[in-house]
Structure 1
Amino acid sequence: MSYGTVDPPTAPGHSDVDFVQHLQPAASDTARDAEEAHQPALWRRVTASLRVFYDRNFGLFLVFLAQTCGSIMNTAAKLLANDPSINFHALQIIFIRMLCTTIICSIYSWYHAVPDFPLGQKGIKGLLVLRGTAGFVGLFGLYYSLSWLEISDATVITFLIPTMTAIVCFVWLREPFTWKEALCSFIAFCGVLFVARPPWLFPSSHMNPVVDDSDRKAPASSITAEQRTMAILIAILGTFGASTAYATIRVIGKRAHSLISVNYFSFIATMASFVLILVHPSLHFVMPKTLGQWGLIAIIGLFGFLLQFLLTEGLQREKGGRATNLTYLQLVFALVVEKLIWGTTPPVESLVGAVLIIGAAIAVSLQKEDGKGKKVEAVNDEERRLLREDD
């Protein structure tokens, strides 16, 4: 008999015994009848429980996949930026990635006839331009820091975004900013000091990560204190840009489709990086020289689009608090990648800073969920946290 159905009674003398019954001939007719009567109800309960679990956690699974794609993309970007045989600047990585996103997003929006594509409604075009420009600043901050910092340090700096967004919304949107959020902000920026490890606060011997002697690929051994400080400052500027873009999305609200917002962001980032490379005297476009470099570029473009798509889909199905907390897995991925590829382990100071920053970000998220000041949660991980619309 099949699950969820009841077979009609068999004719007298007809043996209706299946393979399982052959394996258990000792079962009595009464016990077997009770089991058959109970089995459909049990199966319905199991399938209903699985359906509830699927509906409740499928969004989280998509966010998890998005974080995985983001980690793969960041690793490819760092490998490309630190390749000594090719001077691949962060701006060119942004250009390639966002050009792919612009093309795919435009084709998808045109094919599915997204309302008001491509420019959006009247009255919000200035906000869309601001969203795209601020998003580009956030993206540049991440990729520049990846060129000079360990992946774990560059990743943990992005966790300032929930705290920074609360400050931006307080200044711009006049949203409440409680003393608890102010305390979390102070703790988060103290965490940045631990990650940055300035020479006046920490000895220079702790400037670089711990390197496995058997691995000669550690990328950070020749970075000076000045270069590291500059990378940290630009990374913080990037979190401010990302937070501004996020606050702008809140102001735009439902007046623009999310794909239009993403398309503005990707197009402005593509054009801005292209123009900056052209006008800067020391920058120029570099063509990949090997199949491996072309493969890294393909990974950046493909996984960059996948993380945007998966995160957007996941956030449409999941509450902001659960999704935001799951994005902290990026740090775990970054630590694993650093150990496996470069053989490095962050010093204790970086781990302490990560705990302070992530703890402050979680506290800010919980504060928002309490309903004290209706805010939209900042979603981490460069532009993917910029994609979300206000629910």
Structure 2
Amino acid sequence: MWPLDSTGAADLLEPGPSQLPPDAAPPDASEEPAAAEVAGAPGPGRCWLCSSSPCGWCAEREAKKKGPCPGLGLFYTLLSAFLFSVGSLFVKKVQDVHAVEISAYRCVFQMLFVIPCLIYRKTGFIGPKGQRIFLILRGFLGSTAMILLYYAFQTTSLADATVITFSSPVFTSIFAWIFLKEKYSLWDALFTLFTIIGVTLIVRPPFLFGANTKSMEESYSGHLKGTFAAIGHAIFAALTLVILRKMGKSVDYFLSIWYYVILGLVECVILLFILGEWSLPSCGLDRLFLILIGLFGLGGQVFLTKAIQIEKAGPVAIMRTMDVVFAFIFQIIFFNDVPTWWTVGGALCVVASSTGAAIHKCQSSK
């Protein structure tokens, strides 16, 4: 998320002496309040318009003027889900470029955006001494999660991969319980069970759904690889979030992204040389898709961050599930692939568990 600097917020709410009119100050600091009122000036802390202390009308008017538009955070979340879904669609469309290479191009694109931000904020490129190990882990785990996500989009259906990635909040609760000693309640265990059921319905292992996998025997191997890649993404994304919680606000968000793109680019280059898959896209349309993947991914992150800043976590978590709806719609429209009822049932289980986990975590934190 891209935090806003709240330093000086109190100064904006309470005007200092320099903001008062020149003739507003009482003639003598030791003068009685009654004398000041006789002179036509309100007492200390009183409003210059209505002479009340505190001024309810002015405070209400200021709050209305500065408060966000109702529902704006949910609109930002919806827009973020749409942009992420469109980016996923482009990843699915680019079949001639390996998922690792797509990840490398996105790292380069984000690097060009993050470097000016770091220079402007004067945070440096290394980070605090005690947090560097966590920044390295964040970068490695986050980039690995990105590679696995793109591989899942390319090898299995768009809806299946998207749904499974929504199991990340459940893994986050487990890892936070293990590493951060956070409470793991019976509700969390129930959400985990729902996630396992949902993923099982999507994977449809032959020993449970033998009759339903015979017709897709040729493509089931790819479906299974994509499913495990999506589960791996959910696990690595959960570990990344736990590390971000561990660091807290001691590390600037842009510095965290910097480690993510630098280590991600190094990891992608090494993997591409090992796999021998490094090559420029042969089609101009694929090159356009690579640029759009970076643009839509960045736009989705920006709007999601703005939504979290002005809206509660519970409603944002619920609205985020629209990502699954968009994935189903795009899969039907652009790939003529109607999801099975098993996928729909699995999606309901996973989305319900992830949303419930997020809302429960929000309520328990209050």
Which category describes the TM-score, using the shorter chain as reference length? 0.7 to 0.9
Map residues 114-263 of structure 1 onto 2, 5 A cutoff.
Answer: 114-205=121-212, 224-263=219-258
User: Residue 201 of structure 1: SS of its match in structure 2?
Assistant: helix
Q: Which residue of 1 aligns with 2:48?
A: none
Which deviates more from structure 2 when the two are superposed, residues 351-360 or residues 320-329? 320-329
Q: Which residue of 2 aligns with 1:352?
A: 345
Say if 2:108 is the partner of 1:94: no
Counterpart residue identity of residue 294, structure 1: R
Say if 2:74 is the partner of 1:60: yes
Counterpart residue identity of residue 69, structure 2: D
Contact residue 206 and residue 347 of structure 1 kept, 8 A: no
Contact residue 161 and residue 239 of structure 1 kept, 8 A: yes
Contact residue 141 and residue 240 of structure 2 kept, 8 A: yes
**TM-score normalised by the chain length of structure 2:** 0.78
User: Residue 277 of structure 2: SS of its match in structure 1?
Assistant: coil
**Whole-angstrom CA distance in 1 between matches of 2:359 and 2:166:** 15
Measured at CA, do residues 343 and 224 of structure 1 come closer, stay the same or move farther in structure 2, by a change above 3 Å? closer
Measured at CA, do residues 323 and 151 of structure 1 come closer, stay the same or move farther in structure 2, by a change above 3 Å? same
**TM-score normalised by the chain length of structure 1:** 0.73
Say if 2:127 is the partner of 1:106: no
Measured at CA, do residues 54 and 206 of structure 1 come closer, stay the same or move farther in structure 2, by a change above 3 Å? farther
User: Residue 208 of structure 2: SS of its match in structure 1?
Assistant: coil
User: Residue 116 of structure 1: SS of its match in structure 2?
Assistant: coil
Aligned-residue CA RMSD in angstroms? Answer: 2.3
User: Residue 187 of structure 2: SS of its match in structure 1?
Assistant: helix
Measured at CA, do residues 179 and 75 of structure 1 come closer, stay the same or move farther in structure 2, by a change above 3 Å? same
Q: Which residue of 1 aligns with 2:309?
A: 316
Counterpart residue identity of residue 104, structure 2: F
Measured at CA, do residues 303 and 187 of structure 1 come closer, stay the same or move farther in structure 2, by a change above 3 Å? same
Measured at CA, do residues 182 and 257 of structure 1 come closer, stay the same or move farther in structure 2, by a change above 3 Å? same
Measured at CA, do residues 147 and 56 of structure 1 come closer, stay the same or move farther in structure 2, by a change above 3 Å? same
Measured at CA, do residues 150 and 253 of structure 1 come closer, stay the same or move farther in structure 2, by a change above 3 Å? same
**Whole-angstrom CA distance in 2 between matches of 1:197 and 1:249:** 34
Counterpart residue identity of residue 307, structure 2: G
Map residues 27-106 of structure 1 onto 2, 5 A cutoff.
Answer: 54-81=68-95, 86=96, 88-106=97-115
Contact residue 135 and residue 265 of structure 1 kept, 8 A: yes
**Whole-angstrom CA distance in 2 between matches of 1:133 and 1:115:** 24
**Whole-angstrom CA distance in 1 between matches of 2:112 and 2:330:** 30
**Whole-angstrom CA distance in 2 between matches of 1:363 and 1:207:** 35
Counterpart residue identity of residue 228, structure 1: H
Measured at CA, do residues 290 and 227 of structure 1 come closer, stay the same or move farther in structure 2, by a change above 3 Å? closer
Q: Which residue of 1 aligns with 2:45?
A: none
Contact residue 168 and residue 234 of structure 2 kept, 8 A: yes
**1:129-179 residue CA offsets vs partner (Å, 9 max, x unmatched):** 111111112212211111111111100001101111000001111111001
Higher helix content, 1 or 2: 2
User: Residue 276 of structure 1: SS of its match in structure 2?
Assistant: helix
Map residues 278-289 of structure 1 onto 2, 5 A cutoff.
Answer: 278-280=273-275, 283-289=276-282
Map residues 16-27 of structure 1 onto 2, 5 A cutoff.
Answer: none
Residue 227 of structure 1, CA deviation? 2.6
Contact residue 155 and residue 225 of structure 2 kept, 8 A: no
User: Residue 119 of structure 1: SS of its match in structure 2?
Assistant: coil
Residue 365 of structure 1, CA deviation? 1.8
**Whole-angstrom CA distance in 1 between matches of 2:114 and 2:362:** 32
Measured at CA, do residues 182 and 295 of structure 1 come closer, stay the same or move farther in structure 2, by a change above 3 Å? same
How many residue pairs are counted as aligned between the two chains?
A: 306
Contact residue 196 and residue 232 of structure 1 kept, 8 A: yes
Q: Which residue of 2 aligns with 1:382?
A: none
Measured at CA, do residues 313 and 49 of structure 1 come closer, stay the same or move farther in structure 2, by a change above 3 Å? closer
